[in-house]
Structure 1
Amino acid sequence: MKTKLTLFSLVLMIALTSYSQETQIKGFANIDAMGSFEKDTARKDENHFAIGQYDLFITSQITQNVKMLGESVFEFDGNSFAIDLERVMVDYYMKDYFSISVGKFHTPLGYWNNAYHHGMALQPTSIRPDALKFEDEGGILPIHELGAQLHGDGITKYNFGYNLMLSNGIAADAAYDYNKSKAVTANLHAEPIENLKLYVSGYMDRVPDGYTTAQGITVKKTDVQILNASIAYVNGKFPIEFIGEFFNVTTNMDSVVSKVTNGYVLYAGYKIKKFVPYVSYDGIAYQKGEQYFIENNVQTTTLGLRYIMSPLSVLKLEYKYHTSAQAGMPSVFRNQITLQFAFGF
């Protein structure tokens, strides 16, 4: 019943926004075929087809200075298809260097989380790196936040920009914030050379006593601090493209010594006409004794080839070697091959 009501609300929203000035409705989807083999586990080999996220993306220029963005995703949650409202935001533009936005955003941490939305046709790899997984997938970052932010770009010839956000924080949902503390996010970025982007960002929040995290851990009162540095060169005039990101997550839980978790992403590709061979290396390293997260060190090496059929139609062939080492359990080694057709419409 809940899914039907949500679907009805979504259809109604589309119908109403279609009458707005300059409203655009776009969609993104992907279909995957994959096979994997796990060494020294009971799962062994698997192979299957899968439908990825079905992403509905709506933008509307309501007035000359006000625009709206909405993003809803249909995805399989293990039992049935569910609908997630990923983003809904209203932006009031004043100047290039000053705008105000309210709503649900992608948290302005680093490059990847804001450059790419849920449509896989725009992302360089077939899935997001482990350090940037969504909250409901057990990720270490607050990927989405509900609140208000000030932001601007194009400052000086070096194209400095900023985001300053006040939001409900980790211990919140779309309807309620479970503590009085608010999260603060700051992002400073620059583009000294066209398409070469540099980022530093930070995040601070307090999680209340008794909160159950997305990984299913009930924690004591915890202060969470995230620091980030990123560099990216994508869609430039040179054939090479690369992304490098580092995330330092410090958790300070009552009666527990502060623990540090590091996430990292390295990606490089080289354009040869419509083909882009690429390689990536990403992972998460937890400090021993971590209690806020499940201590499961992961590393993934990816070799891939991307064929750009059109700006919104991409075929990706990937080989991944993934290792995971959860505390107290034997390590798992997985080899995986994925063929993905990702498209927009």
Structure 2
Amino acid sequence: MPYLITVHSVTGGEIQLRCAGPWPAPGSNLYAMRSEVLKDGERTELVEECRIVDIQKKAGPKAITVHVVLDRKRQKRCSFLFLKKNGREQVFFRTESGIKAHRSSSYLQPKPLRFVSEIVIDSREKYPWKINAAHVIRRELPAGDYALCVQERIVAVIERKTLQNMLANLNSLEAYHTHLAELTTFPGAEVVIEASLADFFNPEKVKPMSATRCTRALADIAAKHPSLRITYAGNRKNAQVWATEYFGAVAAKYHGVEEEKLEQGSLLNQNSDRGFTGGVVSEIRHTVMYVLPERFQVAQVRDAHPEASKVAIADCLKALRGEGKLTTSGHGRGTVWVRAKATGASP
């Protein structure tokens, strides 16, 4: 392994690896190994130096991947896969073409929804999708029609739209922009439409609106809400299949990456300055079910969430009691809230 590859991060981190070549051959990978120091008599000669445009680290239950984008026209994307097998570390230097050639199916885990804490369907949703999950409940959501919750935190939201629903919203676009602004305060927000994009270009299907007006309105939504994903599923069947797979993928990610889950969970309420309370409610539910003692009073919830109104806290506690997750003892200011033993504290 005559080549020494060093990756420097702006945060001060460094990866130093030995490889058989400076770059993997097309469609293949290079085996690598860590090398902290040079052996006796070895010296290095600089072959190439390149600025890093972007570097990201993704940790999973079985592997850590470091993705690197270099500042050059060719051979600019690569990744380093760190695996542990039989107690030994294995490192693979991979390129985009090598990953595609490998065609690994390891990322498509069967039955990913086994990781789901719960799927929540808005109580106002008529004729809801049939989502294949072990735990599905109905209650009012602050935004969207379907939500994935992990430890009571909303980590993904889907708003369902039929063709006619979407046309009605496009007809009152200014009001719909406000609604979408609230939806985007939640992580993993997505609008899933039970129609194809071509349907909105078809004058016969969008009557009495014009196809031109629909196109401009959809483009305006995409421009003003760049973080919001819009999926044109084509029909109801495809939409509910997509929702199941999407929630499953998000759930598997949160299940397998504990540190990332906690880090992302702390960012759920960063948009509270917009005046929306959905993220606050999600945080209150998490605090009540996984942070506070088994027996607590309302004052403790207020201390943990001074930004939340008394009404929001009271409504959240009542909702949890209605779901059977909380019980009460006492009256008035002496009321004590008790968590149901089935939910317990966070493991």
TM-score of the two chains, using structure 2 as the length reference:
0.21
Q: Identify, as 1 or 2, the structure richer in helix.
A: 2
TM-score of the two chains, using structure 1 as the length reference:
0.21
Specify the structure having the higher radius of gyration (Cα). Answer: 2
Q: Identify, as 1 or 2, the structure richer in strand.
A: 1
